[in-house]
Structure 1
Amino acid sequence: MSPSRPRIVAGNWKMHGSRALLRALVPAVQQGLPAAGRCQVVFCPPAVYLGELAGLLQHPRCAVGGQDVSAHVSGAYTGELAAAMLLESGCRYAIVGHSERRRYHGESSELVAAKATAALSAGLLPIICIGETLADRESGRTWAVLSAQLTAVAELLQQPRASEIVLAYEPVWAIGTGRTATPEQAQDVHAQVRNWLQEQASAIGKPMLAGQLPILYGGSVKADNAAALMAQPDVDGALVGGASLQADEFIAICRSAD
């Protein structure tokens, strides 16, 4: 990880959790984190718990994130959550384009870009997810898939707050499967993403931007593989699933990022 880029570990609870878990886990994680450290720790629980979570946070390195955000500012969009609503609930971050949203809710890369734009415009930091399936990888299409997903959000790099964008590479074949990309596989993809960023940023006259944006790795990240993954030069943190629901595991991952 570069010393000049933010280090972030975000815990995506998905559709797991309860008020009891919230009240036990969050204080335990905060107690286990040293006050000093470079890693920003983000809790992303289901939306119904966001306000209560914000009230529990007392650690200077901890923040709240939404698991999704609407592309719309407001309106008759039943079930949607606007970026302003997430901000008012205490959120600083919002995940967009997670593979489960793309797969189960049919979200296109264009919709992901619209959501990321809405988040950034409102003051949230979007965590933009990209990733390929096992079939994509085995057929040699990994970069073709990822570059298409990235191209959809390329215009965001021209935004005034572009330096606050966070990218997250999550190979779909490693999410919830117990399979994890090797540190070398993760670094290879992250380096390609970084090179893409450099090309795009240079083309719009912002060459420094490519070195500023953190790229997180996600996909069965656990305490026993986090250190090796985050020792790679272009891996700047982690987007964590199941392990973020276990205090000891999550603390260990955060310490690896430090």
Structure 2
Amino acid sequence: MASEGPRPLVAGNWKMNGSVAMLKEPRLLAAMLKDVKLKADVMVCPPAILVRRVKSVLKGSKIKVGGQDCHWAASGAHTGDISAEMLKEAGCTAVIVGHSERRTNHGETDEIVNKKARAVQKAGLKAIICIGETLEERKSGKTLEVVTRQLKGSLPEGSTASDTVIAYEPVWAIGTGLTPTTAEVAEVHALIRKELSGLMGQDGAGVRILYGGSVKPSNAEELMSQPNVNGALVGGASLKAADFLGIIKVYA
């Protein structure tokens, strides 16, 4: 049984994976979910070049499509970048910003993430803002400090529960097969909820807080049942319909 709170969201982040041949997976997932009564929203976030194709495959289904990143500008001389408006036009309803891989590989700061999240919200989409500590920060006892700093720095002023999702992803758990204990997850999510209430007032109680980091069918039920865990941001397990379904069915 998943924890109570805002309607959960299970979002699959394909990262730099996917091809036309792989479109059979979201098609299969949609078919498997057709007659399932879910108590959660479901989303897949493919590479930008596949957004329109995935959107077409999922037409008529209950699965939404999101983007993985965007520039903070609506348009301009930014070769190779894509705007939130472009993703919206392609069929996205949300965009992931501030993923640890963007922060690490592209040097994105909280300020940059904040600007991107604001651009997503301005385009009328939901910003899925990622925060999380490294293994060194965890071992140094700085987890709560890092999460608080990233949240405050990355969350645009004026954010609401309708245009914002927070994803807590401990960097050391992403793609490693390692996960924090349920007590550690509950502690961080409780802190995030408290900080959101301080930053957003009553609206902070309605923001969905996702857990991400080696979520798979075998541990989804335990993780999703923790207080203030309102769904998951899933990486590798979202690439195969059967695996992703095993996580989604926590909310069936």
Q: TM-score, normalised by structure 2?
A: 0.95
3-state secondary structure, aligned to 1:163? coil
Change (3 A) 1:40 1:128: same
Distance 1:155 1:58 in 2: 32
Distance 1:36 1:179 in 2: 31
Match of 1:209 in 2: 203
Matched pairs, number:
250
Aligned-partner residue type, residue 169 of structure 1: Y
Match of 2:117?
116
Identity of aligned residues (%): 47
Q: Contact (CA 8 Å) 2:118, 2:156: kept in 1 or not?
A: no
Once the two structures are superposed, what CA deviation does each residue of 1:156-193 show, in whole Å capped at 9, x if it has no partner? 3x24x553200000000000111012222111100010
**What's 2:233 paired with?**
239
Write the letter of the residue equivalent to 1:25.
E
Residue 35 of structure 1: CA displacement?
4.3
Contact 1:50 1:89 in 2 (8 A): yes
Q: CA deviation at 1:246?
A: 1.3
For 1:101 and 1:236, the matched residues in 2 are separated by 23
SS at match of 1:143: helix
Work out the CA distance in 1 between the residues paired with 2:41 and 2:94.
11
Alpha-carbon distance between aligned partners in 2 of 1:58 and 1:36, rounded to the nearest angstrom:
18
Deviation at 1:143, TM superposition (A): 1.2
Q: Which runs of 5+ in 2 are unaligned?
A: none
CA–CA distance in structure 2, aligned partners of residues 252 and 139 of structure 1? 34
> What's the CA shift for 1:58?
3.3
Could you list the runs of 5+ residues in structure 1 that have no partner in the other structure? Answer: 202-206
Amino acid at match of 1:26: P
Contact 1:50–1:64 (8 Å) recurs in 2: yes
Superposed CA RMSD in Å reads: 1.4
Paired residues for 1:74-223 under 5 Å: 74-156=75-157, 158-159=158-159, 161-201=160-200, 207-223=201-217
What residue in structure 1 maps to residue 223 of structure 2?
Answer: 229
Counterpart-to-counterpart distance in 2, 1:59 and 1:102:
35
Q: Distance in 2 between matches of 1:239 and 1:4?
A: 17
In structure 1, what is the equivalent of residue 50 of structure 2?
49
Residue 8 of structure 2 is matched in structure 1 by 7
Q: Does structure 1 residue 254 correspond to structure 2 residue 248?
A: yes
Aligned amino acid, residue 12 of structure 1: N
Give deviations 1:104-141, integer Å, cap 9, x for gaps: 00001100000000000111101000000000000001
User: How many Å apart are 1:37 and its aligned residue?
Assistant: 1.5
